[in-house]
Each structure stands twice: as C-alpha cells, then as structure tokens.
Copies of this chain bind each other. A is one copy, B any other.
C-alpha cells in the first residue's frame, strides 16, 4: 500500500509550526543529534527519554513542520534534516537553535528549566 510520508512543500513551512516544534526539548534533541551525526538515522537510533509511541509523535511533528524528511527503508524510517528548505525560508533560525541546544547540552547549563 501507500507507505507515503507527507511532507509540506518548502513554501508551506510556517513559522508558527516551526517554532512550536522547536519548543519541545525532546524534538530539539532529535534535531541536534541529526545535525551532529550523518543523515539517514533511523528513529530507533535516537536515545530519547520517552516511549516508542511518543517518539513517533515527535518525529511526525518535526516532519509536518517541515524540519525533517523521512523515507522508508524496509521497516525502518530514515530521517534527515531539511536544512536547505528551512534555511531558505527562515535564515539562521534553525541553525542557531541547534547550536544553542548543543551548547546548552554540553554546558553545565546555568538553569535547566521545566
């Protein structure tokens, strides 16, 4: 059957959706790891402090916000950043968030929050 993942067109990526997606720490973790490692990491490869279904949920939010692409490879799904599209639409936004996230992670991090 289908096995089709719906991605928004580059022009349809909304600031609202992107910022809402970036607001969650789990999703930022995913993005940071995706930016750090090579592309095409399966969802399984991420160490997330949530259940499998929650994981699926977060990946879907990221995809529907236009931040990542997903494609099937057997039963697994390979994830990749949509760096080009997003940077073209919101220059500097996602990259600065990822950079900040990575630094906050390696840092002692003055205050953790939430």
Chain A residues near B (Cβ < 8 Å): 11-17, 19-20, 22-23, 25, 28, 89-93, 95-97, 99-101, 104, 109-114
Contacts and interface: CB of A to CB of B under 8 A. Distances in A.
The list of the 4 closest CB pairs from A to B, nearest first, reads: A92-B96, A16-B113, A14-B113, A23-B23
Copies of the polypeptide in the assembly = 2
B96 A14 contact: no
Contacts of A17: 113
A100 B93 contact: yes
29 contacts: A12-B110, A12-B111, A14-B104, A14-B110, A14-B111, A14-B113, A15-B97, A15-B100, A15-B104, A15-B113, A16-B25, A17-B113, A19-B19, A19-B22, A19-B23, A19-B97, A20-B23, A22-B23, A90-B96, A90-B100, A91-B96, A91-B99, A91-B100, A92-B92, A92-B95, A92-B96, A93-B96, A93-B100, A96-B96
